[in-house]
Amino acid sequence: MDKLVSIWSKDQSLPENYIFPPENRPGKFVDVPPSDTIPVIDLSKTVDNRNDTIQQILQTSKEFGFFQVINHGVSEKLINDSMSMFEELHGMSVEDKASLFSENESKSCRLYTGALNYDSEDIHYWRENLKHPCYPLQESMQHWPQNQPDTVGKYSVEVNKLGSVILELICEGLGLEAGYLGDDKLSGSALMSVNHYPPCPNPSLTLGLLKHCDPNLITILLQGDVSGLQVFKDGQWISVHPLPSAFVVNLGLVLQIISNDKLKSVKHRAVTNSKKARTSAAIFITPTSDSILEPAKALIDASNPQIYKAFEYKDFLNNYIIMADNPEKSLQPYKLKA
């Protein structure tokens, strides 16, 4: 519990065990200005021009593995209420934090700090995180820590719905049969992950999250109005422009596998800043753990040979956790040809 950054970090210099080696620390790239190069897609235009939206999503998915969506159907009020609730959650009293804090990785709802297992890390992330399953919702709501179950419930339902809409657009764009990506197993689970990055005395030396690819189908992230999310593109870090009522969408490794590498999951990280705490909330749309994953048959032919073999998601996830700092390597065991 004393490990939580928010509890000990005020007026302290950066401890040694938060300093990343030079090849991983942000250095001068901590301050790359927010970029407009990652497309912002207006989903309200889907009604009149579905094909256009699909093409935009496919293009940015291939180029960046990231896009933002606006006019997405989740109300601004719900977004603002939810962001306030996420901020309040991380601003809880030390006693309330203590009741949620857990170092048991298998606990379904927990507040913790660092990556997944603090004691096994040499260098820790400058963040706190609350993880909470959010789909199917009935099975998980009793664990939600705060007394605002209505807001978080509505938010989970609306964002999961948005996820289904986006997955269906991707499905059409790839030429897969309707509902392929919305299958009960393939996107049958969702996890909410609320990050909090307190102000940091030396952001150039540390990270909120080390570069990684997400191990799921897609992630729908609310990053509020404080920048910090960076995407790796052509050897450079690009900072994703914070648009308070937009969602940032990124493709996970599972979608890369299903699409037989037609779409790519792209590395990203979270940097910290010295002035303002940053709160972000991701919903990871994820296969159920017993799902069998493999590239969609419709995307394989003589000129597009199958790249990955079939495997169980549970197995992939265990392997990913061991190799999280090297996403390419985490795919390797599932490749048909080395």
Ligand X SMILES: O=C(O)CCC(=O)C(=O)O
Q: Which does 223 bind (CB under 5 to 8 A by kind): Fe ion, ligand X, none?
A: ligand X
The Cα 43–Cα 295 span in angstroms is: 27
Q: Which does 227 bind (CB under 5 to 8 A by kind): ligand X, Fe ion, none?
A: none
Identify whether the C-beta of residue 292 lies closer than 8 Å to the C-beta of residue 258: no
List the one residue from 26, 114, 228, 327 that touches ligand X (CB under 6 A): 228
According to DSSP, the β-strands at 292-293 and 110-113 are unpaired
Part in contact with ligand X (CB under 6 A); list of ranges 144-152, 155-163, 221-229, 290-298: 221-229
CA distance 7 to 4: 6
In sequence order, the 6+-apart residues with CB closer than 8 A to the CB of 187 are 163, 164, 167, 181, 217, 285, 286, 287
Q: Which stretch binds Fe ion (CB under 5 A): 45-53, 54-62, 136-144, 207-215?
A: 207-215
- The enclosing H or E element of 62 equals helix 50-63
193 scored as a contact of ligand X (CB under 6 A): yes
Identify which range of 56-64, 118-126, 223-231, 320-328 contacts ligand X by CB under 6 A.
223-231
Question: Residue 229's binding partner, choosing from ligand X, Fe ion, none, with beta-carbon cut-off 5 to 8 A by kind?
Answer: ligand X
- From the list 54-62, 163-171, 208-216, 289-297, the region that binds Fe ion by CB under 5 A is 208-216
| x/- letters, 29..58, toward Fe ion (CB under 5 A) | ------------------------------
Closer residue to ligand X, CB minimum distance, 180 or 197: 197
Binding mask 142-181 vs ligand X (x if CB under 6 A, - otherwise)?
A: ----------------------------------------
DSSP per-residue string spanning 179-238:
TSTT-TTTT-EEEEEEEEE---S-TTT--SEEEE--SSSEEEEE-TTS--EEEEETTEEE
Per-residue contact flags (x/-) with ligand X for residues 21 to 40, judged by CB under 6 A:
--------------------
The DSSP letter of residue 39 is -
Count of alpha carbons within 13 angstroms of residue 33, beta-carbon side: 2
Which helix (H) or strand (E) is 293 found in, with range?
strand 292-293
Nearer of residues 151 and 280 to ligand X, judged by Cβ: 280
Cβ density class 189-212: b for 16+ within 10 Å, e for less: bbbbbbbbbbbbbebbbbbbbbbb
Tell me the residue type at 1.
M
* Whether the Cβ atoms of residue 62 and residue 264 lie closer than 8 Å to each other: yes
Decide if residue 282 touches ligand X (CB under 6 A). Answer: yes
Contact flags string 115-154 toward Fe ion, x per CB under 5 A:
----------------------------------------
CB distance 179 to 187 below 8 Å: no
Residue number, 151 or 287, with CB nearest to Fe ion:
287
User: Does an H or E element contain 54, and which?
Assistant: helix 50-63
| Complex with ligand X: residue 266 or 307, whichever CB lies closer | 266
266 in contact with ligand X (CB under 6 A): no
Interface residues with Fe ion (CB under 5 A) are 214
Interface residues with ligand X (CB under 6 A) are 193, 195, 209, 214, 221, 223, 228-229, 268, 270, 280, 282
